[in-house]
Protein backbone atom coordinates (compact mmCIF):
# COMPACT_ATOMS: atom_id res chain seq x y z
CA UNK A 1 0.00 0.00 0.00
CA UNK A 2 1.16 3.55 -0.70
CA UNK A 3 2.30 5.48 2.34
CA UNK A 4 1.12 9.05 2.74
CA UNK A 5 4.26 10.53 4.27
CA UNK A 6 2.53 13.76 5.20
CA UNK A 7 -0.03 11.83 7.21
CA UNK A 8 2.70 9.79 8.90
CA UNK A 9 4.65 12.93 9.85
CA UNK A 10 1.49 14.61 11.12
CA UNK A 11 0.71 11.57 13.27
CA UNK A 12 4.26 11.42 14.66
CA UNK A 13 4.32 15.13 15.48
CA UNK A 14 1.04 14.94 17.37
CA UNK A 15 1.09 14.34 21.13
CA UNK A 16 -0.61 11.00 21.78
CA UNK A 17 -2.44 9.82 24.86
CA UNK A 18 -2.63 6.15 25.79
CA UNK A 19 -6.23 5.71 24.56
CA UNK A 20 -5.33 7.10 21.09
CA UNK A 21 -2.26 4.88 20.81
CA UNK A 22 -4.27 1.83 21.87
CA UNK A 23 -6.91 2.65 19.26
CA UNK A 24 -4.31 3.04 16.48
CA UNK A 25 -2.65 -0.26 17.43
CA UNK A 26 -6.04 -2.05 17.47
CA UNK A 27 -6.88 -0.61 14.03
CA UNK A 28 -3.51 -1.75 12.68
CA UNK A 29 -3.97 -5.25 14.10
CA UNK A 30 -7.49 -5.45 12.64
CA UNK A 31 -6.22 -4.22 9.28
CA UNK A 32 -3.53 -6.93 9.28
CA UNK A 33 -6.13 -9.57 10.21
CA UNK A 34 -8.40 -8.46 7.36
CA UNK A 35 -5.50 -8.48 4.90
CA UNK A 36 -4.58 -12.02 5.98
CA UNK A 37 -8.21 -13.13 5.59
CA UNK A 38 -8.33 -11.54 2.14
CA UNK A 39 -5.20 -13.46 1.09
CA UNK A 40 -6.72 -16.68 2.44
CA UNK A 41 -9.95 -16.11 0.49
CA UNK A 42 -8.04 -15.32 -2.71
CA UNK A 43 -6.11 -18.57 -2.33
CA UNK A 44 -9.39 -20.45 -1.77
CA UNK A 45 -10.89 -18.91 -4.91
CA UNK A 46 -7.81 -19.87 -6.92
CA UNK A 47 -8.12 -23.43 -5.57
CA UNK A 48 -11.82 -23.56 -6.53
CA UNK A 49 -10.99 -22.30 -10.02
CA UNK A 50 -8.39 -25.05 -10.38
CA UNK A 51 -10.97 -27.64 -9.32
CA UNK A 52 -13.37 -26.43 -11.99
CA UNK A 53 -10.59 -26.44 -14.58
CA UNK A 54 -9.61 -29.96 -13.52
CA UNK A 55 -13.20 -31.17 -13.96
CA UNK A 56 -13.17 -29.97 -17.56
CA UNK A 57 -9.70 -31.43 -18.19
CA UNK A 58 -11.05 -34.76 -16.88
CA UNK A 59 -14.11 -34.50 -19.16
CA UNK A 60 -11.85 -34.06 -22.19
CA UNK A 61 -9.45 -36.94 -21.45
CA UNK A 62 -11.77 -39.89 -22.23
CA UNK A 63 -12.68 -38.13 -25.47
CA UNK A 64 -9.03 -38.15 -26.50
CA UNK A 65 -8.55 -34.40 -26.06
CA UNK A 66 -5.54 -33.25 -24.04
CA UNK A 67 -6.64 -30.17 -22.11
CA UNK A 68 -4.59 -28.23 -19.62
CA UNK A 69 -3.90 -24.93 -17.93
CA UNK A 70 -1.86 -21.99 -19.16
CA UNK A 71 0.03 -19.90 -16.60
CA UNK A 72 -1.60 -16.52 -16.09
CA UNK A 73 -4.84 -17.48 -17.86
CA UNK A 74 -8.01 -19.02 -16.55
CA UNK A 75 -9.97 -21.71 -18.31
CA UNK A 76 -9.00 -24.90 -20.06
CA UNK A 77 -6.69 -24.82 -23.04
CA UNK A 78 -5.52 -27.15 -25.75
CA UNK A 79 -1.83 -26.93 -26.55
CA UNK A 80 -0.48 -25.41 -29.74
CA UNK A 81 0.12 -27.89 -32.52
CA UNK A 82 1.65 -27.56 -35.95
CA UNK A 83 -0.59 -25.11 -37.80
CA UNK A 84 -2.71 -24.36 -34.71
CA UNK A 85 -2.34 -21.84 -31.89
CA UNK A 86 -3.27 -22.58 -28.29
CA UNK A 87 -7.01 -22.95 -28.18
CA UNK A 88 -9.40 -22.18 -25.35
CA UNK A 89 -12.11 -24.79 -25.01
CA UNK A 90 -13.62 -23.75 -21.67
CA UNK A 91 -13.99 -20.54 -19.71
CA UNK A 92 -14.22 -20.52 -15.92
CA UNK A 93 -15.82 -17.76 -13.90
CA UNK A 94 -16.13 -17.12 -10.19
CA UNK A 95 -17.94 -14.20 -8.61
CA UNK A 96 -18.32 -13.33 -4.94
CA UNK A 97 -21.30 -11.32 -3.77
CA UNK A 98 -22.16 -10.82 -0.11
CA UNK A 99 -19.91 -13.73 0.90
CA UNK A 100 -21.62 -16.14 -1.52
CA UNK A 101 -19.59 -17.57 -4.37
CA UNK A 102 -21.03 -18.18 -7.81
CA UNK A 103 -19.07 -20.59 -10.03
CA UNK A 104 -19.50 -20.99 -13.74
CA UNK A 105 -18.09 -23.13 -16.50
CA UNK A 106 -18.60 -22.57 -20.18
CA UNK A 107 -17.44 -25.64 -22.06
CA UNK A 108 -17.61 -25.02 -25.78
CA UNK A 109 -19.46 -28.07 -27.05
CA UNK A 110 -20.99 -27.10 -30.39
CA UNK A 111 -20.94 -23.31 -30.87
CA UNK A 112 -20.62 -21.70 -34.27
CA UNK A 113 -16.94 -20.77 -34.00
CA UNK A 114 -17.42 -18.17 -36.73
CA UNK A 115 -19.03 -15.97 -34.05
CA UNK A 116 -15.63 -15.69 -32.36
CA UNK A 117 -13.90 -14.36 -35.49
CA UNK A 118 -15.16 -10.80 -34.99
CA UNK A 119 -14.11 -10.49 -31.35
CA UNK A 120 -11.07 -11.07 -29.19
CA UNK A 121 -12.40 -13.55 -26.61
CA UNK A 122 -11.25 -12.75 -23.09
CA UNK A 123 -8.95 -10.08 -24.56
CA UNK A 124 -6.49 -12.75 -25.65
CA UNK A 125 -5.11 -12.03 -29.11
CA UNK A 126 -2.57 -14.82 -29.41
CA UNK A 127 -4.95 -17.78 -29.05
CA UNK A 128 -8.06 -19.18 -30.62
CA UNK A 129 -11.35 -20.59 -29.36
CA UNK A 130 -12.35 -24.16 -30.11
CA UNK A 131 -15.07 -26.66 -29.26
CA UNK A 132 -15.57 -30.35 -28.66
CA UNK A 133 -17.25 -30.71 -32.05
CA UNK A 134 -14.40 -28.95 -33.86
CA UNK A 135 -11.65 -30.90 -32.10
CA UNK A 136 -13.35 -34.28 -32.54
CA UNK A 137 -14.34 -33.58 -36.14
CA UNK A 138 -17.95 -34.58 -35.52
CA UNK A 139 -21.11 -33.11 -34.07
CA UNK A 140 -21.19 -33.37 -30.29
CA UNK A 141 -24.37 -32.33 -28.53
CA UNK A 142 -24.68 -30.77 -25.11
CA UNK A 143 -26.78 -33.79 -24.10
CA UNK A 144 -23.85 -36.05 -25.02
CA UNK A 145 -21.34 -33.99 -23.01
CA UNK A 146 -23.54 -33.28 -19.98
CA UNK A 147 -23.22 -36.68 -18.21
CA UNK A 148 -19.42 -36.47 -18.34
CA UNK A 149 -19.48 -32.92 -16.98
CA UNK A 150 -21.83 -33.87 -14.15
CA UNK A 151 -19.68 -36.84 -13.09
CA UNK A 152 -16.44 -34.86 -13.08
CA UNK A 153 -17.92 -31.83 -11.32
CA UNK A 154 -19.22 -34.11 -8.57
CA UNK A 155 -15.71 -35.53 -8.14
CA UNK A 156 -13.99 -32.16 -7.72
CA UNK A 157 -16.84 -30.41 -5.89
CA UNK A 158 -18.32 -33.20 -3.73
CA UNK A 159 -20.31 -30.74 -1.61
CA UNK A 160 -22.46 -29.97 -4.68
CA UNK A 161 -23.26 -33.59 -5.51
CA UNK A 162 -26.87 -34.58 -4.92
Residue positions annotated with a catalytic role: 122
Task: Determine how β-strand 100-107 pairs with β-strand 68-70.
Answer: unpaired
- Please state, in angstroms and as integers, the Cα–Cα distance from residue 88 to each residue in 12, 114, 156, following that order: 54, 14, 21
Residue 18's CB is within 10 A of a number of other CB atoms, namely 7
Helix (H, G, I), strand (E, B) or coil at 133: helix
107 contact partners, CB below 8 Å, separation of at least 6: 56, 59, 76, 89, 90, 132, 145, 149
| Nearest alpha carbon to residue 11 among 29, 20, 2, 27 | 20
- Please state, in angstroms and as integers, the Cα–Cα distance from residue 148 to each residue in 24, 61, 89, following that order: 55, 10, 15
Amino acid sequence: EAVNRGEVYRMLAKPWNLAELTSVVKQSVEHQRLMAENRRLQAELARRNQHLEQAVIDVLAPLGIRGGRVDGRTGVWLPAEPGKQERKIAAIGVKIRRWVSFHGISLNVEPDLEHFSGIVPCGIKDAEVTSLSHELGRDVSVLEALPLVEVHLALVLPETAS
